[in-house]
Amino acid sequence: MTNSASLIDKREQRFQSLVFLTIVLVYLLILAGGIVRATGSGMGCPDWPKCFGRWVPPTEFSQLPPNYREIYGVKLKGEVEFNAVKTWIEYANRLLGVLVGFFVFGTLLASLTYWQKKRSIVWASVAAFVLVGANGWLGSRVVATELAQYMITAHLSLAILVVFALLFALVCSRGNYYLPVVGQSSRRNGMRWLLIGVIGLTLTQLLLGTQVRGALDAVIKQVGYSQRENWISQIGLEFYIHRSFSLVILAVNLLLIYQLRKNDRVGWFKWIPGVLLLFIVLEILTGVIMAYFGVPALLQPIHLLLSIGVIGLQFVTVLLWKEAGVDIERVPDKSRLVKI
């Protein structure tokens, strides 16, 4: 191998490690966002980007402006008792957001190495960068609108798009995959529709989940954080729809997993069906425990994180499946053809 070829490979490897790390950080950020909500720390910093007017947030009451109740009282809606833990949870979430911003920018720069070879990787990295920027701004709107439900849902939706863009870049950069599932075209088409259906239904379930979250937040406003065991009984139809729909989600995902396992499994496909099954089971389990055991705060962010894990795995499956049935003879550069 020539020096320049190995240099290119090194750059590509660096990109792949970077984009993988960035995806992990985005998932951590989603978890952090869930922790902020579960602990009620959303207004831990009532202003943005500063926190109580400071770049380093206060750790004790004496560091607050003397008239902080007047300045922030309206926003804090009576919750004017300063709580350093909530303030720092919210601020750590913001710092992680900034770190993600830097990593996505680094990913964008590193992706330029693919400009000649696979431009779609560069465009996916540009999309991730723009979406992260837009979501940072949306995060500020979440605070400005005092945690309006539609803003939180939009914030989550953009986060999912960021995950999709980065997963796209990662999968594409790993080479031209082909699956040993060449099969008949009717079978491939059936699989394609199954995948589209499963993703569509899972996204619908995510949306239904955000409705439950909205209803729950309205209840919390009335009864407060201490009466967790009474929360679920006070929300209406949203909860029953979300709960029942999870049976549909379980059924279609089991069908997908069965189909994936039926084929020869190599590379990524060795573990995707198993992990997907695990995530779906845990998702339902955490949902049931939340619903019938007083919504433990610990499970709220985990339920959210698992749902993004499920949708991420389904998306990777779509990307890999897209290449299934590729006529190997027609691929011009066979040295780039990697068996997964």
The footprint of ligand HEM (CB under 6 A) covers 34, 37, 156, 202, 205-206, 209-210, 212-213, 216, 242-243, 246, 249, 283-284, 287-288, 290-291, 300, 303-304, 307, 310
Contact 238, 210 (CB under 8 A): no
- Residue 178 β-bridge partners: 339
For the bound state, the minimum distance from the C-beta of residue 72 to ligand HEM, rounded and expressed in Å, comes to 25
Contact 310, 276 (CB under 8 A): yes
What DSSP letter does each residue of 100-148 carry, written as one string?
Answer: HHHHHHHHHHHHGGGTTT-HHHHHHHHHHHHHHHHHHHHHHHHHHTTS-
Residue 19 or 272 having the CB closest to ligand HEM = 272
Residue 94 or 242 having the CB closest to ligand HEM = 242
Helices 3-38 and 84-111 pack at an angle, to 10 degrees, of 160
Residue 47 or 217 having the CB closest to ligand HEM = 217
For the bound state, the minimum distance from the C-beta of residue 106 to ligand HEM, rounded and expressed in Å, comes to 28
Burial 216-249 (b: 16+ CB within 10 A, else e): bbebbeeeeeeebeebbeebeebbeebbeebeeb
Residue 95 or 288 having the CB closest to ligand HEM = 288
For the bound state, the minimum distance from the C-beta of residue 209 to ligand HEM, rounded and expressed in Å, comes to 2
For the bound state, the minimum distance from the C-beta of residue 206 to ligand HEM, rounded and expressed in Å, comes to 4
Contact 337, 188 (CB under 8 A): no
Residue 5 or 237 having the CB closest to ligand HEM = 237
For the bound state, the minimum distance from the C-beta of residue 147 to ligand HEM, rounded and expressed in Å, comes to 12
Helix, strand, coil percentages for the chain (3-state, nearest 5): 75, 0, 20
Residue 127 or 199 having the CB closest to ligand HEM = 199
For the bound state, the minimum distance from the C-beta of residue 69 to ligand HEM, rounded and expressed in Å, comes to 29
